Amino acid sequence: MTFSQIPVIDIGRLRSPHLSDRKHVAAEIRHASHEVGFFYITNHGIPDDAIAATFDQAKRFFDQPLAVKNAVSIARSSISRGYEAIGEQALDQNPDLKEGFYIGVDRGADDPLVQAGTPNHGANQWVDLPGWREHLEAYFAMMLALSAQLTRAIALSLNLDEHYFDALIDNSMSVLRLLHYPPHPPDAMANQLGCGAHTDWGCITILLQDEVGGLEVCNASGEWIQAKPIPGTFVINLGDMMARWTNDYYQSTPHRVINRSGSERYSIPFFFDPNYHAVVSCLPTCQSPEQPPKYAPIPAGEHIMEMYRKTYGLTAIA
């Protein structure tokens, strides 16, 4: 779709006991999801001090010596958790100019999905910084709760029962990612960005971005629209799985990051994805004889694993 700005939606009424209030917000989400695939949310219920502390914890990690960060390298994890150095991921043609840290649902050896050998399920790597793990696990739990709230709103927005997705997201493979973008280097390769142009792979992304800016969203005319930081908001965008679920009625929109500010940039996306074995097939309200399903059903986990292989150049991930 051709858009020139990203909508801002107050989601406070999603916490109302009245279905009519929740449907009002859902209608706004429907419009934004179809026309743009991105929107800001306000009145989301996540405390300001929790947000500030999460940024502090991210900076605290990235300020560590490289030897400390490499001790928890993603290369040491069989399930893609831990630290990735600048240039390790290529979301577009050239290596990205960012460093990051992956945190997923922390699962012990006795977890049934781990025992079954389910790809990308297992234990996180943690850094030995007092309070670091505890805070990030608490923030992860907040994001899970907010994601469930948004997923129910999306169900309403698609004229489905509010709890349609509940059984598909109750044991999710969600991931929290800490990201640090140094100032864009003058000697960068042509078309090398902080984060190359891409669409997100999964269901819903909840992005916490600092005041520096740099996120850009592409409209149908090929114009890059700035997603400028708005205090007190999260940026929400839908991923490829949600587009697939909705027969492409909801948009999975290309976006990128270029840190032209001359300052350090930090962002913290939370990628909310369904259960590994959840089958993503065209929703009943998104198909008709005139608009049959475009895509065959697929287990959610298979799609996510293929994208890890593609963007990290891996031949296999356990």
Residue 12 tokens, joined: 């406070």
pLDDT digits (tens, 9 = 90+) for 194-229: 888 899 989 999 999 999 999 999 998 999 999 999
DSSP letter for each residue of 284-318: GGG--SSS--SS--EEHHHHHHHHHHHHHT-S---
Distance between CA 136 and CA 131 in Å, rounded?
Answer: 9
pLDDT digits (tens, 9 = 90+) for 20-70: 999 999 999 999 999 999 999 999 999 999 999 999 999 999 999 999 999
The fraction of the chain above a pLDDT of 90, given in percent, is 81
Q: Residue 132 has what pLDDT?
A: 96
Q: Residue 306 has what pLDDT?
A: 78
Q: How far is CA 199 from the centre of its chain?
A: 10
pTM of the predicted model, to two decimals? 0.93
Q: Residue 315 has what pLDDT?
A: 38
Count the Cβ atoms, other than its own, within 10 Å of residue 76.
12
Residue 193 tokens, joined: 């960005």
Residue whose entry in the numeric block shows the structure tokens 């279905």: 19
Residue 82 tokens, joined: 């831990």
Exposure string of 158-197, with b = 16+ CB inside 10 Å and e = fewer, is bebebebbeebbebbbbbbbbbbbeebeeeeeeebbbbbb
212 neighbors 229 (Cβ within 8 angstroms): yes
Q: How many residues does the chain have?
A: 318
Strand partners, 224: 218
Looking at per-residue pLDDT, the higher value among 310 and 159 belongs to: 159
Residue 53 tokens, joined: 């502390």
pLDDT digits (tens, 9 = 90+) for 230-270: 999 999 999 999 999 999 999 999 999 999 888 999 999 99
Distance between CA 273 and CA 202 in Å, rounded?
Answer: 5
The residue extents of the domains of the chain are 8-312
240 neighbors 199 (Cβ within 8 angstroms): yes
CA proximity to 38, closest of 300, 292, 267, 219: 219
244 Cβ contact list (under 8 Å, min separation 6): 280, 282, 295, 298
Reduced to 3 states, what is the DSSP secondary structure of residue 136?
Answer: helix
What's the chain's average pLDDT? 92
160 neighbors 108 (Cβ within 8 angstroms): no
Ranges of H-type helices in the chain? 19-35, 48-62, 66-70, 112-115, 132-157, 240-245, 300-312
Residue whose entry in the numeric block shows the structure tokens 């840190």: 259
CATH number belonging to domain 8-312: 2.60.120.330
Cα distances (Å, whole numbers) of residue 278 to 22, 24, 83, 143, 174: 26, 28, 28, 20, 13
Distance between CA 70 and CA 84 in Å, rounded?
Answer: 8
